Amino acid sequence: MFRKLIMNVTDLETRVALLEDGNIVELFIERTNDTGIAGNIYKGKVQRVLPGMQAAFVDIGLKQAAFIYVGDVLADFQQTPMLARETIKEESEDEETERKDKASTQPNFLPIEELLSEGQEIMIQVTKPPIGTKGPRVTCHISLPGRFLVQMPTSSHIGVSRRIENEVERERLKTLVEKLRKDDMGYIVRTASEGVSDSKLISEMEFLANLWTKIQQKFVSMPPLTLIQRELNLSLRSVRDLLIDEADALIIDSEEGYNAILTFLDGFMPKLKDSVKLYDGTEPIFDAFNLEGDISRALKKKVWLKSGGYIIIEQTEALTSVDVNTGRYVGKHNLEETILKTNLEAVKEIAYQIRLRDISGIIVIDFIDMTKNTNQKKVHQALIDALKKDKSKTHVANFSEMGLIEMTRKRVRKSLRRTLSEPCLYCDGEGFLTSKQTICHNIYREVLREATDMVDKRITLHVNPDIAEMLHGEENQILVFLEKKINSRINIYPSSRYHLEQFDIFEILDSALK
C-alpha cells in the first residue's frame, strides 16, 4: 500500500490529507485563528477544585478553563507521580496515554483536595483540545516527543513500539535507552528508531533532556497563565509523526513551507528530504488529487455503496448512529445473501468514514437484520478487521439482541463535521424546516391575532415566494376564510429576500393610500 501526504498551505489555513492508494483516509486542518493547542505546555493556576468529581479546573489563559483529573496530578511537581513506577505490560507509542486514562479510576491516589488548592501554580500539558463546550483536557504527566523517542520526565517506564517486531532490535533499543537515560526518566521508543544508530539516539536523548531543563527553568521564571512550550505547527507535526510511520512521500504547494520542512528534516532525518516534493501545478493541489469532492461527501449524512445500498450517518452530542440500507440493491439469489453482501460492503465503508470523519465516542451501528448467527459473526469480524488500520483505539461489542453493534472510538480531536461545519442558522441544527402547509396555518392564526388591534383591517402579507404560491394554490382556502373573518381583502407580496419560515403582516392605513 502506497501512502502519501498532500499538504495545502495558505496564509489562513493548513490542510494535510493522508492518502492510501490514492484515497483520502485522514484529514488534518489547522487555521491561523484557531491553532491547535494539543501538546502545548502551560504554567497554569488552579481555578477550582471539585472533590465530588475528583477533578479540578485550571486557568491557562484561554477562554475556557482546562480540566484535570486526579490521576493526572503529581503529588509533588518536582517528584514523580505516585503510580508512575507501576509495571506496564503492553508496550506501544500510546500506552502512556492509556495508562493515564485508567489512572483516574484507581483508588490508590490521594484525594484531589489534598493534591491541589485554589490559586496553586502547576505545569500542565494539553492532551485534548477544546471540543464544543468542553475545555481542554490537561495533565501534569509531561511528554516530549522527538523523532525517535518520546521522553516522559514524570515516569520511569521504558516502552518500545509494537510496530518494531524484531525481538533482537527491540532488546537493543530498550537496553540502550535504559543505559543512557538520566534521572530515571521514562521513554517510549518510536517506530522510527528501528535500525537507527546509537549515536543518533544518544543525541536525541541529550536534546530532549536539555529541552526539559529549559522548560523547568521557564516554569520558575515566567508568570502564571503563560505558554511555556508550543507544539510544532501542523506541517511539521505531520512530518514528524506521519512521514516515516504512515507515508512514503509528501507533496506540498507552498515554497515557504517546503523550505521549512527541509530545514526541519536536516536536524532530524536528512534521508527523508528526497521524499518531500514541491507541487508546481497550476491547478489547486487538492483539486489535482480529487480531494475536495471526497471532503464534501464526508459531511453528508447519506453515503452510497457501490452495490446500490447506502448508509446513513447521524452525529449527535451523545453518540453517532449508523444505519445500513439495501437501497437499490436487490441481489441475485436470495434475501439472506443480499443482506449479508450489503452488510459486508457497508462494513468497509463504515470503517473508512469513521476514520475520515474522525468520529469518536459511542457509535451504534444498525446493520440489516440477519437470521443466521454465522452471518452475524462474519460481519462482526469484518468490522474488527476493517478498523485495524485506524490508529485511534476502538472497542467493538458483539451484536445485541436488537441486532445492533455498539462500539467506541477514542476521542483525540474535533470531528471533521465539527471542524468544517456549524449548526444551521435557519433550523438551529434541528435538520428540519417547518413545512409550507404549517407556515400557512401559522400565518392564518397570526393574522387573526393581529387583526383584533387593527382599525381598517386592510392587510398586506409579505412572504417567501414558495409560501405565496401555496396560499394562491392548494392552501387558497386559508385566504378565503381569513378575508371572510376580517371582512377585508388581503394582498400578498412575495419576496425572495424572505426565508421560508419568515413572514410580515402590515396594516394599510388610509393615509398610506393618499
* pLDDT greater at residue 358 or residue 243: 358
CB 368 within 8 A of CB 342: yes
Decide if pLDDT at 500 tops 60.
Answer: yes
pLDDT the model gives residue 243: 82
- Return the residue matching grid coordinates 438551529: 428
Q: What is the mean pLDDT of residues 314-324?
A: 90
Give dist(CA 259, CA 273) in Å, integer.
10
Decide if pLDDT at 195 tops 50.
Answer: yes
For residue 305, count CB atoms less than 10 angstroms from its CB and return exposed for 0-12, middle for 13-18, buried for 19 or more. Answer: buried
Band of the pLDDT at 81, cuts 50, 70, 90? very low
Return the C-alpha torsion angle 425, 430, 432, 434, nearest 10.
-80
Give dist(CA 319, CA 341) in Å, integer.
26
* pLDDT greater at residue 457 or residue 111: 111
Query: What SS3 class is residue 82?
Result: coil
Decide if pLDDT at 133 tops 50.
Answer: yes
Q: What is the mean pLDDT of residues 406-413?
A: 87
pLDDT the model gives residue 139: 94
Say what angle helices 436-451 and 476-486 make with each other, to 10 degrees.
10
What are the φ/ψ torsions at residue 45 (nearest 5 degrees)? -130, 130
Give dist(CA 173, CA 56) in Å, integer.
38
Asked which of 15-19, 78-82, 278-282, 312-316 is least confident by mean pLDDT, the reply is 78-82
Instruction: Find all residues with CB under 8 Å of 175, minimum gap 6, and list them.
Output: none
Question: What's the grid cell of residue 197?
Answer: 544508530
Q: Dump pLDDT digits (tens) for 60-75.
A: 988 889 999 998 998 6
Give dist(CA 124, CA 59) in Å, integer.
10
Query: What SS3 class is residue 271?
Result: helix
Which amino acid is located at 464 in the chain? Answer: N
Decide if pLDDT at 288 tops 60.
Answer: yes
Decide if pLDDT at 510 tops 80.
Answer: no
Strands (E), 316-393: 319-325, 361-366
The pLDDT mean for the chain works out to 85
Decide if pLDDT at 79 tops 70.
Answer: no
Total residue count of the chain as it appears in this document: 514
Return the C-alpha torsion angle 425, 427, 429, 430, nearest 10.
180
Band of the pLDDT at 459, cuts 50, 70, 90? confident
Decide if pLDDT at 107 tops 80.
Answer: no
Q: What is the mean pLDDT of residues 222-237?
A: 90
pLDDT the model gives residue 103: 42
Q: Dump pLDDT digits (tens) for 338-354.
A: 889 999 999 999 999 99
CB 405 within 8 A of CB 28: no
88-94: Cβ within 8 A, 24+ apart: 88/157, 88/159, 90/162, 91/159, 91/160, 91/161, 91/162, 92/159, 92/161, 92/162, 93/150, 93/159, 93/161, 93/162, 93/188, 93/190, 93/191, 94/393
pLDDT the model gives residue 392: 85
Vertex 110: Cα angle to 105 and 112 (nearest 5): 80
pLDDT the model gives residue 394: 92
Q: What is the mean pLDDT of residues 428-439?
A: 82
Q: What is the mean pLDDT of residues 260-281?
A: 87
Cα diameter, the chain:
99
Which residues, listed in sequence order, are joined to residue 346 by a DSSP beta bridge?
A: none
Decide if pLDDT at 33 tops 70.
Answer: no
Decide if pLDDT at 99 tops 70.
Answer: no
Q: What is the mean pLDDT of residues 95-118?
A: 62
Percent of the chain with pLDDT over 90: 48
In terms of average pLDDT, the best of 24-33, 76-85, 113-122 is 113-122
Band of the pLDDT at 302, cuts 50, 70, 90? very high
CB 65 within 8 A of CB 135: yes
* pLDDT greater at residue 452 or residue 286: 286
DSSP 63: S
Decide if pLDDT at 255 tops 60.
Answer: yes
CB 35 within 8 A of CB 320: no
* pLDDT greater at residue 114 or residue 86: 114
pLDDT the model gives residue 38: 86
* pLDDT greater at residue 271 or residue 377: 377
pLDDT the model gives residue 237: 85
Give dist(CA 424, CA 417) in Å, integer.
13
pLDDT the model gives residue 363: 96
DSSP 387: G
pLDDT the model gives residue 76: 58
Band of the pLDDT at 456, cuts 50, 70, 90? low
pLDDT the model gives residue 509: 66
Decide if pLDDT at 228 tops 80.
Answer: yes
DSSP 134: B
The 10 Å CB-count burial string (b at 16+, else e) for 104-136 is beeeebeebeebbeeebebbbbbbbbbbeeebb
Nearest partner of 266 among 150, 143, 177, 147, judged by Cα: 147
Q: What is the mean pLDDT of residues 491-510?
A: 87
Parallel, antiparallel, or unpaired: how do β-strands 319-325 and 3-9 relate? unpaired
| pTM for the model | 0.71
pLDDT the model gives residue 248: 87
Band of the pLDDT at 191, cuts 50, 70, 90? confident
Asked which of 40-54, 83-97, 214-228, 308-322 is least confident by mean pLDDT, the reply is 83-97
Band of the pLDDT at 87, cuts 50, 70, 90? very low
Q: What is the mean pLDDT of residues 32-42?
A: 79
Give dist(CA 404, CA 402) in Å, integer.
6
